Amino acid sequence: MITREKLAGGLAFLFAAAAAPLAPEWVVSLATIAFANALVVLGLVVLWRTGLVSFGQALYYCIGAYTVALIVRWSGFTDAFALVALGGVGAGIVAALVGFLLARYREIFFAMLSLALSMILYGVLVKTETLGSTDGFSVSTPSFLGYRPHGEALGLSLYWFTLAIDAVAAVLVGAYFRSVAGSLATPIRDNEIRVEFLGVSVTRIIHTKVVIAGVLGGLGGALAALTIGHVDPAMSYWTTSGGFVFVTILAGAGSVAAAFVGSLVFEMVRSFAVDIMPGLWQMVLGSVLLLTILFLPDGLGSLVARLRKREEAKP
Amino acid sequence: MLTAFAILTDGLVYAAYLFIVAIGLTLIFGVMKILNVTHGSFYAFGAYGAATAVGIYANADWPAALGFLFMITLAMLVGLIMGIILERGLLRLVYGKDEVVIVLVTYATFLILEDVIVLIWGAQSYAAYQPMVAAGSIEIGDLVLSNYDILLVAIAVVLAALAYWALKYTRQGRLLTTVIFDRETAAAFGINVTLVYTATFVIGAMLGALGGAVMAPKISVTLGIGVEVIVLAFAVVAIGGMGSIEGALIGALIVGICRAAAVHLAPQIELFVIYGVMALVLVARPYGLFVRAQPRKI
């Protein structure tokens, strides 16, 4: 079964990479953003498997983005590989520090404390005049190990770059899910105390998950900053976090692939919905979220599992 | 000396506002174990309702003194209707799910209601300053105090006293306390928990709308006012302990005074003071000041 999933994932990856030069430019840039955000969602999936929801994942997203933007601004250093790695590391360090506080909490407190932390960053950035306050500032175009593309080539390079990082992240997170610490996610969600009786520190596992989610959030933010070419405090605002949570619930915690598909669907629906009914975007979002919770509590990913079960039931 | 007095009065007024919005949130959490993000919508609808009421009132030729009452009544009526519709129509369906999932349900509802506001009232902002102007102001020494602010503090004090009296000395309040303490045992003793839930949610919604209504004259009623309220009210409630009324009172006072001190002494840190205080309290007491440690169920 696992090999079949890996095969499907690999084929989808190759298809996504090969189809890009044929697609119009706006589709490529939309997909790049979607796949950058998918990393943040993947981090939320890691948490969601233990029943934790972070309403403040935008904190790491924003830190990743600002790390990249500030390095470019102050040093003129533009290599995308190093920048994105530093974005991930920066967010990871913050997550490790914040984790000492967060890992003590569950459920609502975990969600709302994350939210409060991200809003603190938002407040700091809005008040910081040197970083452009609410307007933010722009990020100059990245280079890839000395290669400096422009125009359409830049879009494609960023897209492939994002896709490659996504693939690595997907493989690593998949491996984490199958590891002992990863497999304990559902038991922790069901009954934490029994897990502790096994001699495992639940706090430490959750701290690890916060850091993993933080690093993924930072990578996503760093990629988004390079793709958009601009950073602003809204990246840390609660609506940004809300969007990520939305995709997580929609995708479900069942599989790694769901995060990527969910994020792509979300970006597409958003760009169409904003075009067709600009004023009612939040209403659409809220309604879909409600319907998902009420009728599809395990997310879109569970539809695949359901289909497969039906297939297996056939003689 | 003047600064100290100003900090104290500003802090009290801000604390009164925080308490009025936090009490509904903490009540609903205490009884139903739901962190109600929709509380921000109740606040916003209350404020918009009040602005509309003031608009109607300013055009009609009625005595000014009753305007405030008219405004509050209309806003609380809005809260009543919204509370009933939401609890009976939606929340009833998700009782028993994870706490976090219910937060998401209320979050989704909040998103929908944000756009409903645009549909009803449009995207422009409203002003409802008339009651504030009508109330006038008094001078104490060099300090000018608005009578409206004093009224706000009075409302908060009355609400606190009322909540204390209702929970301690009325039959319904005692029943509510048993439900807060243990829902299942209360149900086993024949208390109609479903009814208690509906009543609590509706009262919480009305309190949220009341918060919006009394603040409407002081602020510009515009889109997005509900968001700040949720985060602020949560901070207050988390400091005091979720579900505790006296906790909400102490939390509101702490946050109110600290913020006023920041505004007067170091304006640039105003935004973080609230969260800073919250983080400090939670490091020392992880579940707030007024909540006992819960035994963990295996």
The full set of domain ranges for chain A reads 2-16+26-313
Is the confidence at residue A264, as pLDDT, over 90? no
Provide, rounded to the nearest whole percent, the portion of chain A with pLDDT above 70.
98
Per-residue pLDDT, averaged over A23-37, amounts to: 84
Among A107, A120, A193, beta carbon nearest to B272: A120
Task: Indicate if ipTM > 0.85.
Answer: no
Highest mean pLDDT, choosing among A85-99, A153-167, A228-242, B235-249: A85-99
Confidence of residue A218 (pLDDT cuts 50, 70, 90): very high
Among A53, A279, A289, beta carbon nearest to B100: A53
pLDDT for res A259: 84
Confidence of residue A1 (pLDDT cuts 50, 70, 90): very low
Q: Count the neighbouring beta carbons within 10 Å of the beta carbon of residue A254.
A: 17
- For residue A113, which residues of chain B lie inside 8 Å, CB to CB? 238, 282
Cβ separation of B108 and A281 shorter than 8 Å? no
Nearest-CA residue of chain B relative to A56?
Answer: B231
User: What are the residues facing B144 on neighbouring strands?
Assistant: B139
CA distance A259 to chain B (A): 18
Is the confidence at residue A159, as pLDDT, over 50? yes
A238 close contact with B: CB closer than 8 A: yes
Per-residue pLDDT, averaged over A214-230, amounts to: 90
Among A107, A116, A294, beta carbon nearest to B235: A116
pLDDT for res A220: 92
Cβ separation of A293 and B104 shorter than 8 Å? yes
User: Within 13 Å and on the Cβ side, how many CA atoms surround B34?
Assistant: 28
pLDDT for res A210: 92
Is the confidence at residue A198, as pLDDT, over 70? yes
pLDDT for res B1: 65
pLDDT for res B61: 65
A277 close contact with B: CB closer than 8 A: no
CATH numbers and ranges of domains, chain B = 2-284 (1.10.3470)
Cβ separation of A116 and B231 shorter than 8 Å? yes
Backbone angles phi, psi at A241, to 5 degrees: -60, -45
Nearest-CA residue of chain A relative to B123?
Answer: A279
Nearest-CA residue of chain A relative to B35?
Answer: A108
Nearest-CA residue of chain B relative to A281?
Answer: B115
Is the confidence at residue A214, as pLDDT, over 90? yes
Among B112, B119, B227, beta carbon nearest to A287: B112
> Mutation test of the interface with chain B: which of A102, A188, A195, A283, choosing the one with the most B Cβ atoms within 10 A?
A283
**Cα–Cα distance, A83 to B143 (Å, whole number):** 54
Per-residue pLDDT, averaged over A288-308, amounts to: 78
Cβ separation of A297 and B286 shorter than 8 Å? no
Nearest-CA residue of chain B relative to A52?
Answer: B100
Cβ separation of A238 and B118 shorter than 8 Å? no
CA distance A292 to chain B (A): 10
CA distance A28 to chain B (A): 29
Q: Which CATH class is domain A2-16+26-313?
A: mainly alpha
Q: List residues of chain B with CB under 8 Å from any CB of chain A.
A: 35, 90, 93-94, 97-101, 103-105, 107-112, 114-116, 118-119, 123, 227, 231, 234-235, 238, 242, 268, 271-272, 275, 278-279, 282-283, 286-287, 296, 298
pLDDT for res B64: 63
pLDDT for res A62: 92
pLDDT for res A212: 92
**DSSP annotation string for chain B:** -HHHHHHHHHHHHHHHHHHHHHHHHHHHHHHH----TTHHHHHHHHHHHHHHHHHHHHHTT--GGGHHHHHHHHHHHHHHHHHHHHIIIIIHHHTTS-HHHHHHHHHHHHHHHHHHHHHHH-SS-B---HHHHHH-EEEETTEEEEHHHHHHHHHHHHHHHHHHHHHHHSHHHHHHHHHHH-HHHHHHTT--HHHHHHHHHHHHHHHHHHHHHHHGGGS-B-TTHHHHHHHHHHHHHHHH-TT-HHHHHHHHHHHHHHHHHHHHH-GGGHHHHHHHHHHHHHHHSTT-TT-PPPPPP-
> Mutation test of the interface with chain A: which of B111, B116, B121, B291, choosing the one with the most A Cβ atoms within 10 A?
B111
Lowest average pLDDT, out of A134-148, A206-220, A248-262, goes to: A134-148
- For residue A237, which residues of chain B lie inside 8 Å, CB to CB? none
Per-residue pLDDT, averaged over A289-314, amounts to: 76
Cβ separation of B107 and A289 shorter than 8 Å? yes
CA distance A269 to chain B (A): 17
Cβ separation of B115 and A280 shorter than 8 Å? yes
A175 close contact with B: CB closer than 8 A: no
CA distance A121 to chain B (A): 9
B222-232 CB burial, b ≥16 within 10 A, e <16:
bbebbbebbbb
Cβ separation of B100 and A107 shorter than 8 Å? yes
pLDDT, tens digit only, all 298 positions of chain B:
667 778 888 888 888 988 988 888 888 888 888 888 899 899 998 888 888 887 777 777 666 667 778 888 888 888 898 888 888 888 888 887 777 788 888 888 988 888 888 888 877 777 777 777 776 777 777 777 777 788 888 888 998 899 888 888 888 888 888 888 778 888 888 888 888 888 889 999 999 998 888 887 777 777 778 887 888 888 888 888 877 888 888 888 888 888 888 888 877 777 778 877 887 887 777 777 777 666 655 5
Chain A segment 102-161 residues within 8 A of B by beta carbon are 104-105, 107-109, 111-113, 115-117, 119-120, 123-124, 126-127
Q: Which amino acid is at A250?
A: L
Tens digit of pLDDT for each residue in A46-77? 888 888 888 889 999 999 999 988 888 888 78
